Structure 1
């Protein structure tokens, strides 16, 4: 049924919502612009006019999902007190999100894998935001006297690089259940010592 009287922004949101649903249910490769248009009650030409190609739609969905992921991570971080606990919340939560996506939404995981492989700008921005969150937590810990590091930027880079196993969706999927996998708490113990925090 045609959707009437929608603004350009509402039309764009509807297209992204329906495309996201179809990508999740039947997969990106099997979804066509005609499928998306039909779900929206539009013509294919209208979908092309508003958002362009299926690839553009996919990238817009990725941007929205990754922005939502950062918001979720920030909420998890701000829900606890103390820099050590905030650092744990960040990396434990991002690991949990990646595991849930791989197990429960394999088609979404495939889309994410493609985005990483093709080095989309949206993924690069997400990585920068994730690293910035680590930096915020470390700076917060230094300010509170919980951490003792001479260079917050270098510390954030080191922590972010060492925690990539928990942040990278493909590594999360590959390492899950492996005997040599690293637990967040084991990793965190070493990280906290490197940040000048005595671990009892």
Structure 2
């Protein structure tokens, strides 16, 4: 099978310490000035490398941003994975998923505001890291719903893809970096009330409305 190259390939040895140094410096610089206001020239000057030298390891500013974004999204998913491991069943998993995503997103927003902007840009511009994160969450919701149907906790007449997508859309204002920044005041309440509403809907007798 032919392997497809990544959208933003790394230049130079992937384990080269210079790559880590560039990413670390970029995180500090983006964290202070913001991603969109920083150019590769600005970054090169701040790090003390030439612009051409940075391009030996990353083909663009977005490639550097992708590396940072992917690491932050991996941190969020680590929180989610822990929440899933502690859940007692499908209903509990869905509640814990929403709560973990809201809390992790809010934590990133408050403590790394400028780095949060990278996640917002990644979501807005459909970066591969953001799209992969979105797809993973969608599939996780679908998996939880399937488990709930198999155990008899959730109704099973609604098409699974339709139900999982609807749940994702309900969560979206509180888990999307672009939207969460406008919903922080209600995020804590939403993390409690919306999962309860979703679960009541999933477990309610299915009624066909003509």
Calculate the TM-score normalised by the size of structure 2: 0.77
* Counterpart mapping for 1:95-134 below 5 A: 95-134=102-141
Whether the aligned pair in 2 keeps the contact of 1:37 and 1:47 (CA below 8 Å) is no
TM-score by length of 1: 0.80
1:22-65: per-residue Cα shift (whole Å, max 9, x none)? 32244322462314643xxx554332111122222112221232
CA RMSD of superposed structures (Å): 2.6
Equivalent residue runs for 1:8-157 within 5 Å: 8-11=14-17, 12-28=19-35, 29-30=37-38, 32-35=42-45, 37-38=47-48, 43-150=50-157, 151-157=159-165
Q: Deviations over 1:97-151 (max 9, x none)?
A: 2212222221012222222222323222211111111111111222222222233
How many residue pairs match? The answer is 189
Query: Following TM superposition, by how much is the alpha carbon of 1:166 offset from its aligned partner in structure 2, in angstroms?
Result: 1.8
Moved more, 128-137 or 26-35: 26-35
Q: Which runs of 5+ in 1 are unaligned?
A: 1-5
**Gaps (5+ residues) in structure 2?**
1-11, 206-210
Return structure 1 stretches of 4+ with deviation > 3 angstroms. Answer: none
Q: Indicate yes or no: 2:164 matched with 1:162.
A: no
Partners of 2:188 and 2:84 in 1: how far apart? 24
Return the alpha-carbon distance in structure 2 between the equivalents of residues 182 and 71 of structure 1: 23
Instruction: Tell me, in whole angstroms, the C-alpha distance in 1 between the residues paired with 2:86 and 2:30.
Output: 32
